[in-house]
Amino acid sequence: MASEGKNLTGVDIGSSAIKVCEVRTSRRGGRELVRFGYHPLPAETIVDGHVINSGAVVEGLEKLFHRSKRRSVALRASGHGVIIKKISMPLMTAAELQEQISWEAEQHIPFDLAEVHIDYQVLRERSDHGQMDVLLVAAKKEEIGDLTNLAVEARLKPLVVDLDAFTVQNVYEAGYGAPAPEETIVLLHVGASITTVNILADGTTAFTRDIASGGNAITEEIQRQLGISRDEAEAYKCGGDGRGIVPKEVPELINQVVDQMAGEIQRSLDFYLATSGDREIGRIYCSGGTANVRALLDAIQERVRVPVAVLDPLLAAQPDTKQVDPVALQGRTAQAAVAMGLALRKERERGR
C-alpha cells in the first residue's frame, strides 16, 4: 500500500508486555528509531487473545505515553478473532473486485460477515491463467473495538490496526530488502502465547498460520516441574537473569518444550510445501521474546534443516542514541519487531 504523512507510533499490546516504537525519517532519508518503550503486564492480563485486565493495559499505556505529545498510534491484532486466507479469483478490475469480495468472504470466512471487518489486497495477477491471487483478511469487530477502546481510554488516537504477520514482514522488507523472486523465506514471530508463521514466496505472503503456543509454555513447564514461582521460572528460562546458578534440570526441560514447538512449526512448513508445489525453504527468521531462547532456534534448524537466524528490527531503523538508551534495548530487540513494524505505518494510507 502506498502511504503518506508522518509515521505512526507503533503499540504492540502483547500477553506479557506492551512494546512501543517511534520511527522518524532522518535528514539523510534513512529511518531512525527515536523512541522505545517497554512495560511488563501482570500474568493473566491477556488470555487467549482476550483482554481480561483492561485496567492494567490502560495504566501501562498511560505510563508509556505520559510525556509524549505524539498520540496517533498503530495497534496490532492477532489470535482467534483474525482470519487470513489466500484465495484465487478470476481476473477482474478493482471496481469488480470490490463488488465481489463480500461474496468471496462468505465462502471463506467462518464468521457472520456482519461481525467482522473485511480487508483485501491483490497479491499478483496470473494473466496466462486468467486468475489473480488475493489476500483476504477478516477481523472481529468486537475484538478490534475492544483494542481501540483501550487506546482511546489512555487518550491515544488509533488510526491503523495491523496483523502480527504483516508487521514483521514490514520490518523484514525494510531491513533486509524484498526477498528474491525465486526465494522462499519464513518469518516466525514467537510471542508469549502465540507463534505466527508467515511464508513469503515470489515476494508475497503465500501462507500464514497462528500456532497457539509460545514462550509461556517453556516457563510453565519449568514452574511445574521445579515447583517454583512464575518469576523464578521466567528468569531461569532466560539464563538465570541475576538469580544465581540455573538448576541443572532446566536445560533439559527447555529442550523438551522447544522440541514440541519446533515439531508444530515443522508440520506447518511441511503442509505448505506439500500443498503449494514449492520445492524448498531458503531461510527462517525468528522474532518475538522467545527468539532469545537459543535452544528453540537450534531445535527448529535441526528439524527443518534450514538456516535459522534472529530477525534484527534495528536494520529497519537505527536507534538515535541521543533519544534511545541502548541499554533499554539490550535483550529486547527481538521483542520490538511488531512494534517496529507498526511504527513503519503512516498516518494516511492511499489505495491498495
- Inform me whether the pLDDT recorded for 2 exceeds 50: no
Bigger pLDDT: 279 vs 268? 268
The CATH number of the domain where 339 resides is what? 3.30.420.40
158 pLDDT above the threshold of 90: yes
At residue 3, the pLDDT reads 54
pLDDT given at position 216? 92
pLDDT confidence band for 304 (50 / 70 / 90): very high
pLDDT at residue 348 in the model: 58
Domain that holds residue 81: 2-350
Lowest mean pLDDT among 51-60, 78-87, 105-114, 198-207: 78-87
CB hemisphere CA count around 103 (13 angstroms)? 6
Tell me: the pLDDT tens digits for 218-276?
999 999 999 999 888 988 888 766 566 888 899 999 999 999 999 999 999 999 999 98
**If you average pLDDT over every residue of the chain, what do you get?**
90
Residues of the chain with pLDDT > 90, as a percent, come to: 62
Provide the number of structural domains found in the chain: 1
Q: Can you give the pLDDT at residue 81?
A: 81
pLDDT in tens, 188-201: 999 988 899 999 99
Higher pLDDT, residue 86 or 348: 86
Strand 195-201 to strand 204-211: parallel, antiparallel, or no bridges (unpaired)? Answer: antiparallel
Q: Quick check: 239 and 292 in contact, CB under 8 A?
A: no
Is there a contact between 103 and 334 (Cβ–Cβ < 8 Å)? no
Is the pLDDT score of 156 beyond 80?
yes
Q: pLDDT at residue 1 above 70?
A: no
pLDDT at 80: 75
The residue type of 64 is L
Grid coordinates belonging to 199 = 511464508
pLDDT at 125: 87
Single-letter code of the amino acid located at 261: M
Contact 152, 158 (CB under 8 A): yes
Q: Which three cell numbers stand for residue 254?
A: 527447555
Confidence band, pLDDT 50/70/90 cuts, at residue 281: very high
Query: Which of 144-158, 242-256, 273-287 is least confident?
Result: 242-256
Check: CB of residue 346 under 8 Å from CB of residue 5.
yes
